[in-house]
Structure 1
Amino acid sequence: MKTSHKIVLSIAVLLIVGGIGGYFYARQLFRAPQNQLLITGLPATLPFVWHAEDTGSGPVAHAGLLVPVQVPGCSRPCYLQFDTGAPYSVLYANPLAALQQQYPTMRLAFSAGGDTLKNFRCSLGNGQVLARTVKVLPLGAKQLPEASSNEHFIIGTLGTDFMDGRVLIINYPQQQITLATAVPDSLKQRMVAVPLTFESRRVLLTPQVEGKAQQLLFDSGSSAFALLTSRTIWDKLAQPKALVQTTTVNSWGKSLTAHTAPTAAQLGFGDQQVALGTVTNIEGTSFVQNLMMRVSGMGGMLGNAPFEHHTVVMDVKGGHFGILQTN
């Protein structure tokens, strides 16, 4: 065999082995850890407020959802960002330290390294939550806001472990979230549903996009954008010759470039159509992030924007994602 042929064969083998290794590596990254939350007192309904953020091109009023949380021993209102793109809940070290200094009766049980809390309790509306262990990240505000401030004091992220095996209802116009054990009959009779899978606690739904079933990850934490997708899909959905808005976004300290264009595309839920409005492609994502997108089968990440005039029902137990117009 010629040397050049051996080199070509070697490269091919490396690509195959590397592809297989990359596949299983990405699947491992996509897998969620064991659920540590115990929740009682359902059904529970609680309000949410919109979290505003500056994306670099100006403020975005509806960048995220914040839900109020009550921590034993603390009289101050606190908030968690509800993020369906996060497969497990986390708390932030800086605001917890500030709270514990102000309210010593909180008695938070940190691990020796300070990166984990044991048996953390809180209430979300009528729901009582016990986190047997919860990760603590070195994030968040280091000082409590003034009592007269309108600032929402965020102490962590509420992930999809919150809704595991349950039903989550988001009423966007009324700004309410309900966690229940079953879909209420009043909604079940009215909603139009598509399949929902909850692999590794990611909310994957399959609406029709331009007449084709497309698997999308519903990520309430990326609501500054309606749909984040690949360049190939972006090229198909973006309106030709439309003005493209280019912004710089920060992802865990790394600057990425977002290209957002108007689109006439709609999400199809049975006979109900929901306008997307815009579509976004981001440059600068890592090889691993792109590989995870391909391995998971996702066509993109869907934010809150398309549903802001609707109620959505995520029936994790029954495997349905429902939508209905809110009067």
Structure 2
Amino acid sequence: MFFQENQIIMLNLAENFDMKIFKKLMGSAAIFIALSLIGGYLYFDQKFTPPENNLNVAGIAENTTLGWDHTEENSHAAVLLPVKIKGIDNVFFMQLDSGSPTTMFYKKSLESIRTKFHDKIRINEKLNTMSAQFSLGNMTVTSDFKLLNYGNRVDFKNTVANNIIGTIGTDLFEKRIVILDFKNERCSFVENTDEKGFETFEFKKRKIMFPGTIASEKLKLLYDSGTSGYELLTNREEWQKYRRPDGSIKKEKGNSWGNVLTVNSATADQTVTIGNSKLQLSEVTYVEGTSKMQNLLMKTSGMQGMIGNKLFLNHTLIVDCKNKKFKVK
């Protein structure tokens, strides 16, 4: 009897001991998972957080010529703006890219400029930056610009060549209200404008998210002028839903900072409402070959697609990132 009672006591102690260990292990696992989630969130939050905006902007640019970079497949591949580097009379071009949070220069292009104007291009090899000032109309932009190991050699002999030397990002959008008159191919960067009839949009981490609607479905759409020649880029599932079943499909090669992508575009017949403006969606696109990081960015941001400049070709788009207001007219 005594032995049986001791055996029962020992079993109860063992069960209690095992339960305590189990609870501790579960508690540790929960803490580990929580810390992993927090760590993951902080990592990606930091990964997609742009650096501090160090642009020093003076003056404004009004009715600057808005040009286009052309490819064999796309006549509106990128918006190009004419700029001058301080101390150099030549006109170069920079791509206006609302998908880039940072204004930067292309190192390979600058190195070719430096062979001719060696005392005007000051590159910090250690920091991979360039201290410079460029002008657009009567507006000047000064900073230590980041350099991207990208670009082509500048052709000084060809006076009509689009010598693209860098990218203008949304850090400049924070400093000035941007007016893109696509119909008349004009662009302005101003400090004030009449904002009657303007609507709100989301502007986080220098990403422009317009509210949109397609067939009563509300969407969050990233305005990325880097995808200039496309109306709406989305995933394959949405692409299948929006395209015309009997419509044609066009395949082409795309370029994302030197990475080759496969771009699939299909005819569509939809109406896209951006704010209160109804725009005709005649084409929808999805891309193969994007990186895991790019796909993750789309998922974590909550966006359902990206819109380029082609959707606004017959309109004027005004974007005030400082006050998070916009208008399509």
TM range (shorter): 0.7 to 0.9
Distance 1:20 1:170, change over 3 A: same
CA deviations 1:145-190 (Å, max 9, x no partner) are 414x42111111111111115311100111111111222x3xx44x
CA deviations 1:215-273 (Å, max 9, x no partner) are 11111111122111112221221112322222232334443322211112222145531
Unpaired stretches in structure 2, ≥5 consecutive residues: 1-17, 19-25
Q: Is the 8 A contact 1:68 1:77 kept in 2?
A: yes
Q: State the shift of 1:127 in Å.
A: 0.6
Q: Is the 8 A contact 1:70 1:123 kept in 2?
A: yes
Q: What residue in structure 1 maps to residue 179 of structure 2? A: 169
Q: 2:126 aligns with which of 113, 122, 126?
A: 113
Q: What residue in structure 1 maps to residue 141 of structure 2? A: 129
Q: What residue in structure 2 maps to residue 34 of structure 1? A: 52
SS in 1 for 2:74: strand
Aligned partners of 1:80, 1:256: CA distance in 2, in Å? 22
TM-score by length of 1: 0.84
Q: State the shift of 1:136 in Å.
A: 1.2
Q: Is the 8 A contact 2:57 2:175 kept in 1?
A: no
Q: Is the 8 A contact 1:45 1:126 kept in 2?
A: no
SS in 1 for 2:327: strand
Q: Is the 8 A contact 2:210 2:275 kept in 1?
A: no
Q: State the shift of 1:102 in Å.
A: 1.7
SS in 2 for 1:207: strand
Distance 1:259 1:23, change over 3 A: farther
SS in 1 for 2:184: coil
Q: Is the 8 A contact 2:223 2:307 kept in 1?
A: yes
Distance 1:172 1:288, change over 3 A: same
Aligned partners of 1:254, 1:18: CA distance in 2, in Å? 31
Query: Which is bigger in relative contact order (C-alpha 8 A, separation at least 6)?
Result: 1
Report 1:127-276 matches (<5 A). Answer: 127-131=139-143, 133-147=144-158, 149-183=159-193, 185=194, 188-189=195-196, 193-269=198-274, 271-276=276-281
Aligned partners of 1:40, 1:111: CA distance in 2, in Å? 24
Q: From the CA coordinates, give the structure whose radius of gyration is larger.
A: 2
Letter in 1 for 2:48: F
SS in 2 for 1:213: strand
Report 1:4-153 matches (<5 A). Answer: 22-42=40-60, 44-53=62-71, 58-106=72-120, 108-113=121-126, 115-118=128-131, 120-131=132-143, 133-147=144-158, 149-153=159-163
Q: What residue in structure 2 maps to residue 308 of structure 1? A: 313
Q: Is the 8 A contact 1:226 1:306 kept in 2?
A: yes
Aligned partners of 1:19, 1:229: CA distance in 2, in Å? 27
Letter in 2 for 1:129: V
Per mean C-alpha deviation after superposition, the further-off stretch among 84-93 and 163-172 is: 163-172
Q: Is the 8 A contact 2:97 2:170 kept in 1?
A: yes
Aligned partners of 1:230, 1:22: CA distance in 2, in Å? 24
Q: State the shift of 1:212 in Å.
A: 2.5
Per mean C-alpha deviation after superposition, the further-off stretch among 308-317 and 174-183 is: 174-183
Q: What residue in structure 1 maps to residue 11 of structure 2? A: none
Q: State the shift of 1:74 in Å.
A: 1.0
TM-score by length of 2: 0.83
Residue identity over aligned pairs, in percent, reads 30
Q: 1:295 aligns with which of 300, 315, 321?
A: 300
Q: Is the 8 A contact 2:99 2:226 kept in 1?
A: yes
Q: Is the 8 A contact 1:26 1:291 kept in 2?
A: no
Letter in 1 for 2:256: S
CA deviations 1:174-219 (Å, max 9, x no partner) are 1111111222x3xx44x5x442122111111112222232111111
Aligned partners of 2:51, 2:203: CA distance in 1, in Å? 13
